Structure 1
Amino acid sequence: MVSTSLAIYLALTVLARALGFASVLLLARSMSPADFGIYGFLQASANLIVIFTSLNLPTPIAVVLARGGGDRSRLENTVISVVVFLSISLAVLVSLLSFYFAFPEMALGANELLWFLVFTGMSSLQLLSSSALIARGQRLRSAATTLLSATTLCVALAVTQSLSVAEALRVGGLSISLGGLVSTLLLFSGGLNHNLRHVHASLVSFLKRNGSDIFLFSVLSFSASLLFQFGLWFLQRQLIARGGAEQGAIFAIGNQFYNVVLFLPGVFGPLLLRRLSRTTLEQEKIRQTLCAGAAAFSISLLGVIVFVGAGSFILLVLPSKYQVGIEPLALAVTAGALMFTKAPFSVFFQARVSAVAELFASLMAASILVLGACFPFIVAEATASLWLRLAAHFLLLTALLFAFVLYWRSFQRKLI
């Protein structure tokens, strides 16, 4: 039964990712290179804002829910509903401020602002609700809502011939809204605990028992995610400002191939986190992490080799007006493969409610990105920027793997 459920979950997720990639090709076909470059930058900005405004709560939420039982689901729903409301509100506020103060000069108006606010707010909703569903073991529901968003977007774009930036944001925002609202309804289908005094007392009691560890973990994991995503966002911003929207479009197309690879840690990461969080023996956690890491490395290496070998065929699916070679795409895929290889080791520390190693690695990688983005010869051209991103990803993987090896050796010495 478990294997069947997992197979269906993987099939739904792969289908959703395939539709998502098809949607990107349809967007690239329907938009001019300059508009697509701007849209790609706004999408990256939305991702950064969602991470900032959600305070990286999906990870600690997943750890807490995976350890809990079903008797407290209504109480958890009430707490999560407050978190979701605050996250969406903060996302809208930060998006509004960012739109006017953080973006390079672009010809953007009220329509772009409106749908950018919808896009970021609903992305935050879908992220939190989907993470909570997976943490509760309801992965099929989470995958189904993601597929719903991807299908809606793909169908809408298939019947559209020409899109502006505002229209692209509108289609994307409404598609995400549909999936996010449905996943939220499924999450809260068990009902809410309306006794707010009991909810408050239970939350205070939980924080007194586990508050310091959970709070520290939340702050550090949030800082790690925010640092690295800010570095990536700043690199793309500098490329748009220095190299122009056309170079931004090449980077954005490479980003989509990068995102295709990232669906792998997005699928297996929450499953591994749930498994490690429910495993009590530390030695077994290490063994499972090593097995997952070896598998991730093998799949990543094979995937990059196959992608480079099939490069000439892959270029045929891209609109000719972008004139993208295989090098930018290969760099993007390799960066995604490094993130997939890193994922099991990140999950290991997450399951231990520890984020120090991830923070240290992210700080190093973000420093490389921000410093490199200050050199005009790097951010004047998309390929050079993608090489810089690849170097940052390699540093991120190396630092985290080093931290895991140090912990492993320390644990072995304790057994002797």
Structure 2
Amino acid sequence: MSEGARRSLPPFDPADPLGIDDLLAPDDLAVRTTVRQWAATRVLPQIADWYERGELPGIRELARELGSLGALGMSLTGYGCTGASAVQYGLACLELEAADSGIRSLVSVQGSLAMYAIHRFGSEEQKERWLPPMAAGEIIGCFGLTEPDHGSDPAAMRTYAKRDGSDWVLTGRKMWITNGSVAGVAVVWARTDEGIRGFVVPTDSPGFSAPEIRHKWSLRASVTSELVMDEVRLPADAVLPEVTGLRGPLSCLSHARYGIVWGSMGAARACFEAALEYAGSREQFGRPIGGFQLTQAKLADMAVELHKGVLLAHHLGMRMDAGTLRPEQVSFGKLNNVREAIEICRTARTILGANGISLEYPVMRHATNLESVLTYEGTVEMHQLVLGKALTGLDAFR
């Protein structure tokens, strides 16, 4: 390369070493900027306190603000939804999780699980009733699939809905439900004599309760609940009419997992940035620790995995926008990016030393949050088996 050509190259950007921003359209950058600014104003100044207290105060107000941003159900079309691209939704998830996984979980469960289920499988009446106020954040939704004894094997769920005349009667329990205690509507999956069906359940229905789960050491700034249905009577039109079987909830989970592929890189970025800044200001042996080879090796490895993960997320987003994204590819992204995000957080903690465990810095908060992200929407083992089956053609689940 000639010296003149070298001089014409753009400068190296530590925040974007691969020039990934060149892949983004102006509208993509605008979405990212809007969500980043909102998170910086509304979440970051208070998130350490919320996390330490183990609560998310003002969640309904936050939901309405997210609705006004167009962040709720943003990749859905019509019914008050933004109709954003998959890449734009992913960028929003990245920025929200850079603030905290609990905030991104609020948005993911609202849009990619509860709203997505109604949008894809609901009747026109269900869509008209629920989606506009959910898109505005006026009604919060939750998604009931996991049970106390059945997580990775939803086909074995015990929650059951039986017909009683023209009504349905729903009985069972769901566990680890984000937004459950503050939701106005729950999408609940249950066994029926016809197979597994989804039900749109107003949470003020008699027999429905959602006790909050306390004493969490992860996702502390998030509402997590149990759902209890004790002979909840529902009208005939409460059932989602367009799907029967596990295809329904699993397609919703795939949409939510896609958001995690991006979101996990937000948590990783926050920890990397904290470590990079700390390495430039923390002095030992007479100079900043960023000047030592071992610290630079850590930072280089973190940057490589972080931006590889963002590239992977962008690639999957382009495939989703093109209608060619397969569930196995989402598993690929979720498995890789969450696993690498946790490693980036742990490495950042070592650079910060003892300060790494303090809530004055975001590192330990993100590290503990990611332990939940690693498990929900499919454990490491389940995604490994999804890929194993795709690679070999052999089913090792049973």
TM-score (norm 2): 0.27
Q: Tell me which protein shows more helix as a share of its residues.
A: 1
Q: Tell me which protein shows more strand as a share of its residues.
A: 2
- Higher RCO (C-alpha under 8 Å, 6+ residues apart): 1
TM-score (norm 1): 0.26
